[in-house]
């Protein structure tokens, strides 16, 4: 990664189905990244209809975050020739963290930020939406710290160390 280059840092968020947590993280980082970061998301077993969870999209809309271009996709898309090279890969669910990931070109830094799956919330729709909003808030708190780091401190090893230490917050 060239730190003197204004090229954004590419971050890939992974979750098994790429329908809720990884979608929320992708949209939030693109919203907050101010050109320093470009976020993507994918999953090991994306939803069959290749669409994000509708409650994730509603939560993002309510928060004023763009949902344009969001889709559920396989992580194989980012291991294929011609795919954007990732600088950092972050798993956001425990299942994806335990799976064998494809080879990532450029050997990006890795981290795990575990979040409860809001799509597993049962009960009233208001309760489900509150779970999605809570997860989005947790993601935002970590990303506020992450995006405030000086770009010069985001070399591969410090990027990995910084991202991993945020898992504790």
Question: According to the model, what pLDDT value does residue 29 have?
Answer: 98
C-alpha–C-alpha distance, residues 116 and 164, integer Å: 18
C-alpha–C-alpha distance, residues 153 and 151, integer Å: 5
C-alpha–C-alpha distance, residues 92 and 31, integer Å: 18
**What residue spans define the domains of the chain?**
9-152
CB atoms under 10 Å from CB of 19, counted, come to: 27
Question: According to the model, what pLDDT value does residue 79 have?
Answer: 84
pLDDT 10s digit of each residue in the chain, 169 long?
A: 444 446 899 999 999 889 999 999 999 999 998 888 999 999 988 866 778 999 999 999 999 999 999 999 999 899 888 999 999 999 998 665 556 666 677 788 888 999 999 999 999 999 999 999 999 999 999 999 999 887 666 665 566 677 777 776 6
Question: According to the model, what pLDDT value does residue 9 have?
Answer: 92
Predicted structure pTM score: 0.87
Which residue is it, tokens 């910084």? 162
Residues in the chain: 169
CA angle 109, 26, 50 (to 5 degrees): 110
- The structural architecture, per CATH, of the domain 9-152 is 3-Layer(aba) Sandwich (3.40)
CA angle 71, 50, 69 (to 5 degrees): 15
Question: According to the model, what pLDDT value does residue 48 have?
Answer: 66
Question: According to the model, what pLDDT value does residue 35 have?
Answer: 85
With CA atoms as reference, report the closest residue to 26 among 58, 71, 63: 71
Neighbouring residues of 16: CB distance < 8 A, sequence distance ≥ 6: 43, 44, 45, 93, 95, 96, 99
Which residue is it, tokens 């990732």? 86
């Amino acid at each position: 990664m060239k730190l003197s280059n204004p090229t954004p840092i590419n971050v890939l968020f992974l979750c098994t189905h790429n329908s809720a947590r990884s979608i929320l993280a992708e949209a939030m980082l693109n919203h907050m990244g101010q050109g320093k970061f470009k976020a993507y998301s994918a999953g090991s077993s994306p939803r069959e209809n290749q669409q994000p969870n509708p409650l994730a999209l509603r939560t993002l809309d309510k928060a004023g975050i763009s949902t344009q271009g969001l889709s559920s996709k396989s992580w194989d898309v980012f291991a294929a020739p011609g795919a954007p090279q990732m600088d950092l890969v972050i798993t956001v669910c425990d299942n994806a963290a335990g799976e064998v990931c494809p080879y990532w070109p450029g050997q990006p830094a890795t981290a795990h930020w575990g979040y409860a799956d809001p799509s597993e919330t049962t009960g009233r729709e208001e309760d489900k939406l509150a779970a999605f909003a809570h997860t989005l808030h947790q993601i935002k708190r970590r990303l506020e710290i992450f995006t405030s780091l000086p770009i010069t401190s985001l070399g591969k090893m410090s990027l990995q160390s910084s991202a991993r230490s945020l898992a504790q917050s």
